[in-house]
Amino acid sequence: MKIKTVSLSLFLVLFILGKPPAVSAQNNAKSLAEKLGFPRDAKLLIVHADDVGMTHSVNAATIKALESGNVNSASIMVPCPWFPEIAEYAKSHPDVDFGLHLTLTSERVYYRWGPVASKDEVPSLVDANGYFHHDWTATTPINPKEAELELRAQIDRAHRMGIHPTHLDSHQYRLIDNGKELFEAFLRVAHDYKLPVFVTRDWFADHLYLESSLTPTDIVLDHTITISPAVPPEKWTDFYRTALKNLQPGVTEFVIHLAFADDEMKAATLERDTWGAAWRQRDFDFFRSQGFRELLREENIKLVTWRELARAAGQ
Amino acid sequence: MKIKTVSLSLFLVLFILGKPPAVSAQNNAKSLAEKLGFPRDAKLLIVHADDVGMTHSVNAATIKALESGNVNSASIMVPCPWFPEIAEYAKSHPDVDFGLHLTLTSERVYYRWGPVASKDEVPSLVDANGYFHHDWTATTPINPKEAELELRAQIDRAHRMGIHPTHLDSHQYRLIDNGKELFEAFLRVAHDYKLPVFVTRDWFADHLYLESSLTPTDIVLDHTITISPAVPPEKWTDFYRTALKNLQPGVTEFVIHLAFADDEMKAATLERDTWGAAWRQRDFDFFRSQGFRELLREENIKLVTWRELARAAGQ
């Protein structure tokens, strides 16, 4: 989880050093903002809730936040037990900007899930009990062919159950952080299904294969921001206020994690506080607040969705 | 779910017609009660909570009820998402009378699970999305060999995760109600793992293959009682009071379903009230009540566990 654990101080340095949106890793004169019909220096934001389908609590909080209008995009974990509940919602709310949060890990201890594909077909992805690995280590040699098969199985189940996703992203950034082969499998699947993947120029320096694997038609976001364990609970609002006040021109995705701090979510995340029930309740509270809405207006930040991005990019 | 839907009136008839415990479908002179060291006419009761592992709410309510002492046995659904939570509890509480609630269906709509075995190996058990079938119909030809393979996979996962079950039973009575081949697969697995199965003489008339398939060493309970959808919520306590006051001599299992009527459980059982959140909260409230404890004392009913039964039967 390298990307998620960027510390607060490093994060502030990134703000200071933040470059304006690049014109052309994509051999294309127009910036993403311009393709969307905004001026080059417009501040555009996707407020994106991850992990939908993980628990009922995540589903209920995300639906509430999406319906408030302050959160405008989200992505769904197809292998998770509560996937059918959110699939039903997505099917009956086809305008909501739902992507698929492609998932190859089961990172909790007391509540777990496994692959959509047959376990026999993806042995490198599962532990001795048939769940996705809790974590990937040096002794977890993930087979990219098996990963690709599982990604396709997840998208196929989503389609069968009535979801028409607007984008793809990767749970815990596993398909971003773990080498060229996995990223290329991710990209190949995305191209086959004609869906944009969440990737940002912020990551290019850390993983050279990202930029070199992308094609000129792939959408690349300018920036992404996510809160980290280095931020203490009492600084939650400060973090987001600072982030919004320092938002760079171009398209930024806020990656947030919503749930209620209820019995289910507390039990599901009992073993550690990071991305736990209280964390997710804090995100829910901030992004549902009047203060967040006012900051967007004060800073002249416009919300955009993956559906709009894909349309603007001609996908 | 034939067995579960016995109506209240039929249930009362059963009380009236109820035979005393048979000595010997098992070629054995001693009744189960006598093997346990009780007089032949003792009223012995297993208060058994089903469906543990299904949700966090079921786990939390069942643990609370078990720790109160009024509920003294339970069985665990290995394929369910919250299985790891209850496995951890069972591992650290090895004296609790936990069996395995062998599961081949995923009967809810918004929250689902699938097999422990590889889907490729058990194609007849899964639907197009890889979940266990929602229900079994004429167009769901369950392959008993695949069912047996899945039952073994569930027991093996339970063992690997630290559970030493005291007995086996069948979620929704699927392995009891659906023909000789499935019952014999169930029994074969139980014999191989040296575990008693929950079967009662009450069912022999409806399914002739039960009695003919059992061997002389198999434990057979005298009676079982479970509340049915025919009982209105306001009659819940009356039903159980009547059942306890009319309890027959011999060993009876009360099959009960515990959970809290919280957000998770309400959402998991949203599509119908039967065995839903409110139902399970009512069961929890009755079996945790002082009234239940007093009835046991007044009626001179003694609680016994599957562990005691297996020990008494020399298993």
- The pLDDT-based confidence of A315 (bands split at 50, 70, 90) is low
Asked if the Cβ–Cβ distance from A161 to B88 is below 8 Å, we say: no
Q: Is the pLDDT of residue A28 over 60?
A: no
Instruction: Please tell me the predicted confidence (pLDDT) of residue A314.
Output: 83
Asked if the Cβ–Cβ distance from B128 to A160 is below 8 Å, we say: yes
Q: Is the pLDDT of residue A108 over 80?
A: yes
Give contacts of A121 with chain B, Cβ < 8 Å: 118, 120
Instruction: Please tell me the predicted confidence (pLDDT) of residue A286.
Output: 98
Tell me which DSSP letter residue A133 carries: P
- The pLDDT-based confidence of B225 (bands split at 50, 70, 90) is very high
List pLDDT tens digits, range B167-216. 999 999 999 999 999 999 999 999 999 999 999 999 999 999 999 999 99
User: CA–CA distance from B25 to each of A188, B46, B216, B235, B313 (Å)?
Assistant: 64, 21, 8, 36, 15
Contact A171, A103 (CB under 8 A): yes
- Tell me the C-alpha distance between A186 and A177, whole Å: 12
List pLDDT tens digits, range B65-98. 999 989 999 999 999 999 999 999 999 999 999 9
> Which of helix, strand or coil describes residue A58?
helix
- Tell me the C-alpha distance between B267 and B261, whole Å: 10
Asked if the Cβ–Cβ distance from A157 to B84 is below 8 Å, we say: no
* Nearest residue on chain B to A110, alpha-carbon basis: B85
Give contacts of B263 with chain A, Cβ < 8 Å: 56-57, 60, 260, 262, 264
How do beta strands B301-303 and B43-52 pair?
parallel
- Tell me the C-alpha distance between A206 and B193, whole Å: 53
Asked if the Cβ–Cβ distance from A81 to B81 is below 8 Å, we say: yes
- Tell me the C-alpha distance between B197 and B220, whole Å: 8
- Residue B177 is encoded by which pair of tokens? 């109600």
Query: What does the longest C-alpha to C-alpha distance in chain A come to?
Result: 54
- The pLDDT-based confidence of A172 (bands split at 50, 70, 90) is very high
User: CA–CA distance from A97 to each of A118, A186, A254, B80, B181 (Å)?
Assistant: 29, 20, 14, 30, 49
Amino acid identity for residue B118 in this structure? S
Q: Is the pLDDT of residue A10 over 60?
A: no
Give contacts of A116 with chain B, Cβ < 8 Å: 130
Asked if the Cβ–Cβ distance from A263 to B267 is below 8 Å, we say: no
List pLDDT tens digits, range B133-145. 999 998 889 999 9
List pLDDT tens digits, range A130-139. 999 999 998 8
How crowded is the C-beta side of A248, counted as CA atoms within 13 Å? 22
Contact B278, B232 (CB under 8 A): no
Among B63, B110, B159, B269, the residue to mutate for chain A (most A Cβ within 10 A): B110
Question: Of B111, B116, B260, which has the smallest distance from its Cβ to A85's Cβ?
Answer: B111
**pLDDT average, residue stretch B269-280:** 97
Q: Is the pLDDT of residue A146 over 70?
A: yes
- Residue A157 is encoded by which pair of tokens? 């189940």
Q: Is the pLDDT of residue B2 over 60?
A: no
Which secondary-structure segment (H or E) carries A61? helix A56-68
List pLDDT tens digits, range A273-295. 999 999 999 999 999 999 999 99
Asked if the Cβ–Cβ distance from B262 to A267 is below 8 Å, we say: no
Instruction: Please tell me the predicted confidence (pLDDT) of residue B139.
Output: 86
* Nearest residue on chain A to B122, alpha-carbon basis: A118
Does the beta carbon of A112 lie under 8 angstroms from any beta carbon of chain B? Answer: yes
Q: Is the pLDDT of residue A21 over 70?
A: no
Q: Whats the size of chain B, residue-wise?
A: 315
Asked if the Cβ–Cβ distance from A84 to B110 is below 8 Å, we say: yes
- The pLDDT-based confidence of B315 (bands split at 50, 70, 90) is low
Give contacts of A130 with chain B, Cβ < 8 Å: 116, 157
Asked if the Cβ–Cβ distance from A129 to B262 is below 8 Å, we say: no
Does the beta carbon of B171 lie under 8 angstroms from any beta carbon of chain A? Answer: no
**pLDDT average, residue stretch B89-115:** 98
What are phi and psi for residue B126, nearest 5 degrees? Answer: -120, 155
Question: Of B84, B112, B157, which has the smallest distance from its Cβ to A110's Cβ?
Answer: B84
Of A198, A242, A210, the residue nearest A73 (C-alpha): A198
Of B278, B292, B275, the residue nearest B234 (C-alpha): B278
CB atoms within 10 A of CB B223: 22
Contact B83, B114 (CB under 8 A): no
Does the beta carbon of A136 lie under 8 angstroms from any beta carbon of chain B? Answer: no
Does the beta carbon of B91 lie under 8 angstroms from any beta carbon of chain A? Answer: no
- Return the beta strands (E) in chain A as ranges: 43-52, 73-76, 98-102, 168-170, 223-225, 250-257, 301-303
Does the beta carbon of B81 lie under 8 angstroms from any beta carbon of chain A? Answer: yes
CB atoms within 10 A of CB B300: 9
Which secondary-structure segment (H or E) carries B225? strand B223-225
Instruction: Please tell me the predicted confidence (pLDDT) of residue B101.
Output: 98
Which secondary-structure segment (H or E) carries B53? none
Looking at every residue in chain B, the average pLDDT score rounds to 92
- Tell me the C-alpha distance between A145 and A210, whole Å: 18
Does the beta carbon of A277 lie under 8 angstroms from any beta carbon of chain B? Answer: no
Residue in the structure block whose two tokens are 């005298």:
B222
Instruction: Please tell me the predicted confidence (pLDDT) of residue A139.
Output: 86
Q: Which of A41-45, A114-118, B28-32, B61-65 has the lowest mean pLDDT?
A: B28-32
List pLDDT tens digits, range A198-237. 999 999 999 999 999 999 999 999 999 999 999 999 999 9
Q: Min CA distance, A195 vs chain B (Å)?
A: 22
SS3 content of chain A, % helix, strand, coil (to 5): 45, 15, 45
DSSP string, B96-160: S-EEEEE------SSS----SS-GGG-GGGB-TTSSBPSS--TT----HHHHHHHHHHHHHHHHH
Question: Of A84, A117, A128, which has the smallest distance from its Cβ to B111's Cβ?
Answer: A84
Of B154, B152, B217, the residue nearest B185 (C-alpha): B152
- Residue B232 is encoded by which pair of tokens? 């209105």
Instruction: Please tell me the predicted confidence (pLDDT) of residue A6.
Output: 39
